[in-house]
Structure 1
């Protein structure tokens, strides 16, 4: 697979990234969520060059998303494991999966379906919920600048506020 495109990769996350995202990071995370931990396995499954994979895994470790652990059986073997910070990315991957199946579908049908492990039933979807559990549409959500907001953020919030009044 060339590093220039995910167009041929049969994965809703990859198709989402083809249209809106950064290369490799989320498909590496997809594989980590599926239980992949070894460099060679990531490299073989994804077809990614070793130098790019090493850089991406290094950045994920540097940012505390993955933990690099030597194998107990052989110190030459390293495992990359999701940290709590990494696990918190799952809703994003789930949303990308749902989005990719809807907006970048495979002609033969879904490539992945999210199902509840205990029942095998499809999950209801991915969305944003109010404190009382109601699903919210984007038009029902406001973004409010916080104490760390700069002038550009405040300007963007004003623009959003003005647009929502129209």
Structure 2
């Protein structure tokens, strides 16, 4: 495992970061969720170099998060569309948006608000729900090892158990 890769780490968070953890990837996905799909639009809006953008888009396509499609009207134009796997990242970006507004605010006021289209009301937040729909706090959740857990995972779980 190199310093720049989590590929060899047996952890779902590390494996998620391996696919979307590079900082440009998350803002590219933010823009994709806002409807942006063309390379030149991403490049112009983000001010990112074309080589870095091409690398990041390529990695997101490689991991099945974005789909690269030729335009139906002009084959020279390429669109990058969110896949089901990519759309599943929305709660992560929504949580980061809400966290950023609360814990890294702009002194002039909110930069973004998440509201329900049908009502215009703010979303209540992003959280972990129990099977019956109750919102759970971190101290109400226990992490247990699954069949794919390795020795490091078991050690991490033991640390949590010992400090509980």
Superposed CA RMSD in Å reads 0.7
Q: Deviations over 1:71-109 (max 9, x none)?
A: 111111100000000000000000000000011100011
Structure 2 partner of 1:139: 139
Q: Give the TM-score normalised by the residue count of structure 2.
A: 0.86
Structure 2 partner of 1:102: 102
Misfit runs of 4+, over 6 Å: none
Q: Give the TM-score normalised by the residue count of structure 1.
A: 0.85
Mind listing any 5+ residue stretches in structure 1 that lack a counterpart? 1-20
Quote the Cα distance in structure 2 between the aligned partners of 1:124 and 1:33: 19
Structure 2 partner of 1:54: 54
Quote the Cα distance in structure 2 between the aligned partners of 1:67 and 1:123: 28
Does residue 30 in structure 1 map to residue 30 in structure 2?
yes
Does residue 89 in structure 1 map to residue 93 in structure 2?
no
- Please state how far the C-alpha of 1:22 moved relative to its aligned partner: 3.2
- Please state how far the C-alpha of 1:37 moved relative to its aligned partner: 0.3
Mind listing any 5+ residue stretches in structure 2 that lack a counterpart? 1-20
Which has the higher relative contact order, 1 or 2, with Cα contacts under 8 A spaced 6 or more apart?
A: 1
Secondary structure of the 1:67 match is strand
For residues 113-132 of structure 1, what are the structure 2 equivalents within 5 Å?
A: 113-132=113-132
